[in-house]
Structure 1
Amino acid sequence: MCALIEAVQTWPAPDWSLPWNAPFAVDGAVVRSACERGVPLPQALTQRIGTLGPRFVPQADLPEGTAYEQFIFETGSVPTREGLHDFFNGLCWMRFPATKRLLNRLQAAEIRKAGVGQVRGPVRDAITLFDENAVLLQAPDVLWDALAAREWAHLFGELRPLWAQARLVLFGHALLEKLVKPYKSITGHVYRAPVPLGLGDDLAAWDAWLAGRLSATGLGEKPFTPLPVLGVPGWWAGNEKADFYADAGVFRPQRLPGEVRSPSAG
């Protein structure tokens, strides 16, 4: 028990006051507090999520040779390691249970068709990318147009006041984990479907909307647009400086037709 408590205390503590953590702050604080009292992370997550979601079980419960996604689909249990990555995964299950279940069903269907294999294939890759790194955006059309064109100076310059009308929510748990120790180049993948303005800030409604529109075919088309998330106005003090967005290594321009970039380019 003492070893477990000591391990939790070595996790970097998320700053729940930061805007990207806000949707997860209440649940996150409760779960982390339980872990600091010696409750294993799978148990703490299961207690907090209640009937909304799956059971969380120790990673050791995943049989050798069984795909993680297939195990979740067949048992309704999520293998969970002690650490921030799976901590945030559990919090995302709390905010987006219908969408997480859908993504799991899509993964299981792809496994049934093609097996696990060493190569996931485009659909499974896209599902994984969504699960790990997706960003949801609710914003006026003019912001969407500038984002899609990667017109960074326009998006965060002339259009900066319009960000007060936007809402950005991180879905990807790996993205949330990275932001525990923020750095400028952290980039999320914005799902290229605007969250309807009529849904307001009700994340349960966002979850239902998202679960009703995602499909294997649509995800296989890679419907994502990159966004260095710390460029969002109000999210990071450094982006108030005029030269913040001049870093072309982070805020990369849109590719021109026929342009070939190095494999490291985004």
Structure 2
Amino acid sequence: MREREAGQRAEDQVAAEAGLAVTHEAAAGVARGVEPDPVSQGFAAIDWSLPWFAQFAARGRRWQQAALTGYADLLAAMNADAAQLQQTTGRGQRLAFIAQDDLPAGAAYEAHIASTGCVPTRHNLHDFFNGSMWFAFPRIKAALNARQSAELDLLGVGPTRGGVRDMLTLFDENAVLFACADPSLGAALRGFDWQTLLVARRAAWRRGCEVRCFGHALLEKLIAPFKGCTGHAWIVDVPAAYFEWDSAARDAWLDEAVAAALLDTDALTSRMFAPLPVLGIPGWWPDNESPTFYDDTSVFRAGRRQR
């Protein structure tokens, strides 16, 4: 439990700006003098038409309805899907979801998942999106769990998580997958060259590059999107044919390639990421149709090019 609490503090730093949008139903309840239920309010606020949620909508809508019914219903829906698809965690254990209170006292969260296959899950948006990633990118989630549990075996649970575990947590919480078939676009992202990536080469999006959200804390923040909301981009070189595939085939390719990279790379550090303000992604936010959207240097920073 101490490990989950320590992990939650790290998650809270990543998700500090997270907010819940007020639904029309909740607003009506306030007008009648009824205090809105913050849990239901949060799940009801998911708009599956938005690009960062749309990729998970098919399963997400079912889980959303279960979550609005109750905690037990959400766990039942998640476990039904896990049983059908036979997903596994970092050490090959069959994936399942348990109530947070069922995590044994003193057990390390990641180690428990690796050894038992059981993911402690709360009735909130954060863990809802975490569960979703076990199905959207199961190999990546299993690879993260394998590396986290291996680090725990090596170093134990201490007052700090260490550089590798910090990187893995950052990936799990806030990563976006930047799939790129044109090396110049990846170079523009690494170089903070926003004008090239998001303005001059705007037409290359969805033909030479695209983004898939992964971090569950990032998705939670995007319930109430704000201009400065930034993901940690993991750049993935993909073949040109990638952009001819359907969404499921793309996700499967990314899942396998990124999982292999996480397992095969010894020196994992946070410097492997490139910051990407997600509302700047072409087609993701109406305001970015105007080039002046990118003139805000508090969001689209010069970064390492100035150092």
User: TM-score scaled by structure 2?
Assistant: 0.78
Judge conservation of contact 2:96–2:117 (CA < 8 Å) in 1: yes
- Structure 2 counterpart of 1:214: 262
2:180 matches 1:136: no
| C-alpha displacement of 1:58 | 0.3
Unaligned 5+ runs, structure 2: 1-36, 89-94
3-state SS in 1 of match to 2:287: helix
RMSD: 1.9
- Structure 1 counterpart of 2:287: 238
Q: Matches of 2:198 and 2:305 in 1, distance apart? A: 21
Cα deviations by residue, 1:206-228 (Å, 9 ceiling, x for unpaired):
21122222135242363110000
Query: What is the identity, as a one-letter code, of the residue corresponding to 1:66?
Result: A
Instruction: Give the counterpart of 1:181 among 210, 224, 241.
Output: 224
- Structure 2 counterpart of 1:11: 42
Q: Matches of 1:161 and 1:98 in 2, distance apart? A: 31
3-state SS in 2 of match to 1:164: coil
| C-alpha displacement of 1:143 | 1.5
Query: What is the identity, as a one-letter code, of the residue corresponding to 1:32?
Result: Q
Query: Cα distance 1:214–1:196, how it changes in 2: closer, same or farther (>3 A)?
Result: farther
| C-alpha displacement of 1:172 | 0.7
Judge conservation of contact 2:71–2:123 (CA < 8 Å) in 1: no
3-state SS in 2 of match to 1:222: helix
Query: What is the identity, as a one-letter code, of the residue corresponding to 1:241?
Result: S
- Structure 2 counterpart of 1:49: 82
Cα deviations by residue, 1:8-28 (Å, 9 ceiling, x for unpaired):
422152111111112111111
| C-alpha displacement of 1:195 | 3.7
Unaligned 5+ runs, structure 1: 1-5, 260-266
- Structure 1 counterpart of 2:100: 59
Judge conservation of contact 1:160–1:233 (CA < 8 Å) in 2: yes
Q: Matches of 1:162 and 1:16 in 2, distance apart? A: 25
User: TM-score scaled by structure 1?
Assistant: 0.89
Q: Matches of 1:221 and 1:32 in 2, distance apart? A: 32
Judge conservation of contact 2:176–2:215 (CA < 8 Å) in 1: yes
Judge conservation of contact 2:192–2:305 (CA < 8 Å) in 1: no
Instruction: Give the counterpart of 2:124 among 79, 83, 86.
Output: 83
Corresponding residue pairs, total: 254
Percent identical among aligned pairs is: 45
Judge conservation of contact 2:172–2:216 (CA < 8 Å) in 1: yes
2:301 matches 1:252: yes
Judge conservation of contact 1:70–1:111 (CA < 8 Å) in 2: yes
Judge conservation of contact 1:31–1:44 (CA < 8 Å) in 2: yes
Q: Matches of 1:24 and 1:177 in 2, distance apart? A: 13
Cα deviations by residue, 1:57-76 (Å, 9 ceiling, x for unpaired):
00001122211101101110
3-state SS in 2 of match to 1:153: helix
